[in-house]
Amino acid sequence: MSGKEVYLDSCKTSRLASEVLHAMMPYLTDKYWYPGSFTSIGTEIAEVIEQAQETVAHSMNAKSEEITFTSGGTDANNIAIQGILQANKEKGKHFICSTVSHPSVLAIFQGMEKRGFEGTYISANKDGYLNLDELEAAVRPDTILAAFTQVNHILGTIQNSKAIRNILDQSDHKVYLFMDSCEAYTKIPLDVEELGIDSLSISVHKFNGPKGMGILYVKKGTEIVPTQFGITRLYKLKPGAINVPGIVGTEKAVELAFTDFDKKIGRYRELQKLLYDEIMKRIPDAVLNGPPLGERSPAHLNVTFRYIEGEAIMMMLDFDNIHVETGSACSSQNLQPNYILMNTGRTHEESHGSVRFTLDRFVTKEDILKTVDALEKTAKELRRRSPLGKKEQ
């Protein structure tokens, strides 16, 4: 490896911000106590956790009592989806999901189908937008939950949560709306009241917070039962030990992300546009996957480089100390064509040739330019060797 590291894979995970580590340190050392009501140290920690809940709640226009800290996005997904389905199983056992949802969501529904629940999986178009006509047709008298990924982790597509909510509201009974917001949170404005979201999940390590921390929002009045059991120290939906340092780090990461939020999003869009423009100008036969710039997540770009395999691009960039992802961050190890790209109309070759670039607060203009320099060199060399088709002169 050579030169300064360039990390463009924050969709998988992100670097812990130094401010977050600094905020956590006292609670890893001196302030190691649990929250409580009858001692000064317990009261201090309880107040710290309450403040963290308020900070998170404010960022999405929720109430602090609607926030539960979990051990990650997958944990939050499981608590919400399983808890809502189990609480409402006497009313119906039908759920609606999509063929382009995140694997951690799809895996839960596959498990629930083995427990007697029945699902309808709606399709998406070439840009990853859900087929809303299919959604409308899928709602049944026994439908109790619709669950989707708010920002697609492969294509960067932002689903129309309001339109989804409006369709669900046409039913003569309550259909809960759950959103996997792990890629959406801190990248787009998120108002749970305006969008009509009943529950959502967040993964903290995707926005420069600590690993092993998630956020679960459950709207007051939502019928949900616990799926985990043990000593309830703070949250009825999440029993067991309380990760106080993780909660403190989560609050700091949220605070950093939403301070001058519009300015941060504007910076993401500038870097995204620079990356896109330079790729399209300098590398022939590059094709954008997903919605156009301005309509997609500002921190996300997915490009297919025709006549090359994305795995080869990823590995050659790694030699230059540049880190990107090909296909799904959760399933690329098996070298199968990505299911989301395939489910939105790409060929095997187009899917295998895709590379995903995702941004965080540490990415600079110089990082983008270094990446495109390396990409241009890599594309020429791989196409020279490629048996797949067109060669560059």
Which residues are catalytically annotated? 330
Half-sphere exposure of 145 (CA within 13 A, CB side): 30
* Residues in CB range of 39: below 8 A, 6 or more apart: none
Give the gyration radius of the chain's Cα atoms: 22
Cβ atoms of 353 and 259 closer than 8 Å: no
- Enumerate helices (H) and strands (E) in the chain, giving the number of each: 13, 12
The closest alpha carbon to 149, from 119, 190, 118, 106, belongs to 106
Instruction: Indicate the SS3 state at residue 224.
Output: coil
Cβ atoms of 193 and 61 closer than 8 Å: yes
**Which CA distances in Å does 293 have to 134, 159, 250, 300?**
26, 15, 30, 9
- Any alpha helices (H) in 200-345, and if so which ranges? 244-258, 261-282, 310-319, 339-343
Burial track 157-166 (b if 16+ CB lie within 10 A, e otherwise): bbbebeebbe
Kindly state the tokens that stand for 277. 């423009």
